Amino acid sequence: MARAPGGVRPGPGVLTSAIGKLQKRIKVDHALALGIPCSQLRPIDHLPNAGCPVLLIAGTEDRHTTSNETAQMFSVAREPKELWLVDGAAHEDLHLAAPDEYKSRVLGFLNQHLSVQVDSAR
């Protein structure tokens, strides 16, 4: 671990805070690069008006969107809706954590709610 001036190591709280700030900054930078206003980075504000079936997939180890936030988003979404919490997954590794179940659930949801069937062989 790097040492601060004077040879003192920063505590874990300092490092965690710095990482959290960096992650938020990256999220904002990506949104700005895509031309999305930061005010639209709150899916909970938009889910009630989605006007389509909602499949909400979240990892149980996600540090960006907590399980409580996921439950809140699911509660405001209109039917039809489905929630799948991927055990052990974080924010972006949902498919890697459970590839077969991911494919089965996503294709099953699409086939249930689309007028065209999706081929699982692709």
pLDDT in tens, 52-96: 999 999 999 998 888 899 999 999 999 999 999 999 999 889 999
- φ, ψ for residue 29, nearest 5 deg: -60, -40
Residue 83 gets which letter from DSSP? E
What pairs with residue 34 in β-bridges? none
- The strand ranges marked E within 7-122 are 54-59, 81-86
Give long-range contacts, CB 8 A cutoff, 24+ apart: 116-119. none
| Rg over CA atoms, the chain | 19
Q: What is the mean pLDDT of residues 20-42?
A: 61
